[in-house]
Amino acid sequence: MLARVAINAAQANALDEYGFFDPTKVDALQASEAAQALDRYLAAYPQGQYAASAKGLYRRVHWLAGDGAQLTADYQQALAAPQDMTLWNEIDLKLLGNKQLPATPLFLLVQDLKRLRLHPEWEESWQPLTTEELNGQQAAFAAAGLSAQWEYLQLAHRYYVAKDYAGVVQAIAAPQGSGPLDLLAFSRQMLRGMALQAQQQWPQAEAHWQQLLAAKPDAMQQQLLQLALAMTLERADKLEALFAAQSPVTRDELRDPLLRFSAAAKLLRQVSADQALSGELRNTALYTLLLKDLNRGHYADFLQDQALLAQAPTGKPFDLAPFSQGASNEEGYSCPALSETVSQLASTQAGGKPAAKALNCLGEFFYRQGWDESPLGSKPGATLLGGAPDRFAGAAYGRLALYRQVIADASAPEAERSYALFRAINCFASSGYNHCGSEEIPKAERKRWFNTLKQSYAGSVWAKQLKYYW
């Protein structure tokens, strides 16, 4: 108890309200008192009920004291006994998160790998591992019997820092045999495959991942290989292969982002109708298809794709019912059934001017479904799964683009143009930023909208409701 009290006192001022640690604010005297209290307890009760807990608290004390060498020894001792992921997380946070080099090659190996994979958003004081540093570690790794791991670090340096992808492929032979690989051999083959990807050698990369997947990988390896193969096929524009019956990529969580962000309409239709796939995938595919039909102006396609709703799975992850929406009357503005609205837009798409009512009602549908924020989520970055260019034709638009078509039509009925002005102005409430699409509209233009609504349509219910513009 005395040790715990002293530890709490030592760190009382070192942790801010968000839990961030400042080592300069540690009370060194209290940390020393905690260590002495632990010493006294273990001397008196070496096999006591709280002996294991006391030994674990030394790690906290040494961390607070900034004693990296002793902390490394503590973790080495802890790893000698059975452990779980909690201990590894603690090591990563408390030891490997410090810039001080760990005293043992095993921990140094992990920190080296972290430094090889530095991200631009990381703290600037972290520097990539240099060739000189790596060469200087060779003797220590050899003494610890980890020469093979040091050689792997050399290859990783060529990939991550030197970006010598051709050299990595040349240095790592293709896997031999058909059995599973140990961790080090598997890591080498992952580097080889990633180097093939980096050179956009998609057929070779695909064959590489396929070969490794056929070699009876363990559960963790299989997850990584399925991800790697999925990313390769996405970049190679072979998404259809990922949903084929014989595809080795079987994890829905890997297929899902490809449907949302990368798949063409043809593939979405195919997946929506494929009863061999999970209900969740078919649901996602159909929702994505119908949504993109609407927000990219494929109105005739939408009317045909609605037929897929008859055999669509319900529930997760998306509600498909709105795509069959009937007539509505929300906030005093009535609209026909969605299919009738889209039919009107489809009939004028080949030529002629879209009906103002249909444009407004489609915007109303977007609004009621909460599509100002993408219901599919944010598209992943270019280097992530789902980050390849979207194969679905056309550019997405928000409802402001629909309102602007009505506003630009001086012949539009008063009820429709005033409503479009009302909604368009409210797209900027109350921040002044557009939350109905990507268009940037100057404040002067939004002022003109407001003045037009108030002057030209002063008698409308929408002019009476609106008091401000933003």
Domain assignment present for residue 87? The answer is yes
Domain assignment present for residue 163? The answer is no
Give me the domain span that covers residue 16: 1-103
The reported pLDDT for the residue numbered 18 is 81
The reported pLDDT for the residue numbered 137 is 94
Dist. CA 127–CA 457, nearest whole Å:
63
Asked if 277 contacts 290 with a C-beta cutoff of 8 angstroms, the reply is no
* Structure tokens that stand for 161 in this block: 């820092």
Non-local (6+) Cβ contacts of 192 within 8 A are: 168, 169, 172, 174, 208
The reported pLDDT for the residue numbered 401 is 95
C-alpha distances (whole Å) from 16 to each of 6, 57, 67, 99 are 18, 21, 22, 21
Domain assignment present for residue 168? The answer is no
Asked if 388 contacts 262 with a C-beta cutoff of 8 angstroms, the reply is yes
Question: How many CB atoms within 10 Å of residue 196?
Answer: 23
* Structure tokens that stand for 221 in this block: 């390896």
pTM of the model: 0.85
Asked if 42 contacts 55 with a C-beta cutoff of 8 angstroms, the reply is yes
Note down pLDDT in tens along the chain; length 470 residues: 788 998 899 888 887 878 788 888 888 899 899 889 998 988 988 898 888 888 889 899 898 888 888 888 888 888 887 777 888 888 888 888 777 767 789 888 988 998 898 766 655 667 888 999 999 999 999 999 999 999 999 999 999 999 999 999 999 999 987 788 999 999 999 999 999 999 999 999 999 999 999 998 999 999 999 999 999 999 999 999 999 999 999 999 999 999 999 999 999 999 999 999 999 999 999 999 999 999 999 999 999 999 999 998 877 899 999 999 999 887 889 999 999 999 999 998 877 788 999 999 999 999 999 999 889 999 999 999 999 999 999 999 999 999 999 999 989 999 999 999 999 999 999 888 999 988 889 999 999 999 999 999 999 999 998 888 88
The reported pLDDT for the residue numbered 367 is 95
Domain assignment present for residue 56? The answer is yes
Nearest alpha carbon to residue 151 among 107, 109, 95, 212 = 109
Q: 415 burial class (0-12, 13-18, 19+ CB within 10 angstroms)?
A: middle
Domain assignment present for residue 84? The answer is yes
Domain assignment present for residue 203? The answer is no
The reported pLDDT for the residue numbered 318 is 94
Dist. CA 95–CA 89, nearest whole Å:
10
Domain assignment present for residue 40? The answer is yes
Non-local (6+) Cβ contacts of 431 within 8 A are: 470
Domain assignment present for residue 144? The answer is no
Could you give the number of structural domains in the chain?
1
